[in-house]
Amino acid sequence: MTQPPRSPLRQGLQRRGFGLTLLIVEFGVLSSFLFSLALYIFGTVQTVRTLWNALPRIGQPEVTKNLVVAAIEQTDLVLVATALLIISVGLQALFVQRLDNLPGWLHIRTFDDLKNKLMGIVVVALVVEFFKVAIKWDGTPGILTFGLALAAIILAVAAYTFVQARYGSEKGGDEKAGSDEE
C-alpha cells in the first residue's frame, strides 16, 4: 500500500518544527561552548595569579606542595572545560552541521562516539581528583573509601564501554549511518 502524499502545509510545519529543534540544540552548543571558554580563561587567570603569588616564596617546601596541588586542580578544570568543548562540538556535528578542520580524534559521527569521548575524559578527571586528594592527604581515614568509590565508578564506566562496544556494534544502525556521511 502506498501512503497518500503529504500536503505542502504539513511538510512546511514539519520542516519548521525540525528547524526549531535545531535552534534548541544550538542553544546547548552555545552554552557548552561559553562555559568551556569561561573555564579555560578562568584557569589561565588562576594559574597566572597562583604563580605570581608563589614567586616571592619560591623554593619553600610548602610553596612547592601548594603549586603541585594548584597544578592538579588546574588540570581538573581544563578537563572539565575540554569535556564541555567536546559536547559543544559533538552536538554541532550530530544535529546541525559537521565541522571542518578538526583533529581526527574529535570527529564525532554518532551519539555513541560522543558518549565514549566524554566517558574517557570523566575517567581521567576522576583519577586527577583522587590524585588531588592523595596529595593533600593528612593521614586521616577515608581516603581508601574514596579511592574504592572512584574505582567502582571507573570499573562501571569500563564495563559499560565494553558492553556497548561488544553488543552495541551488533545493532549496526548508528555506525553504518555515520559512516556514509564522510
Q: C-alpha 87: how far from its chain's center?
A: 6
Q: Is the pTM of this model over 0.95?
A: no
Query: Domain boundaries in the chain?
Result: 8-179
Q: Are 84 and 36 in contact (CB under 8 A)?
A: yes
Confidence of residue 179 (pLDDT cuts 50, 70, 90): very low
Closest CA to 150 of 126, 121, 134: 126
What percent of the chain is predicted at pLDDT more than 90?
A: 18
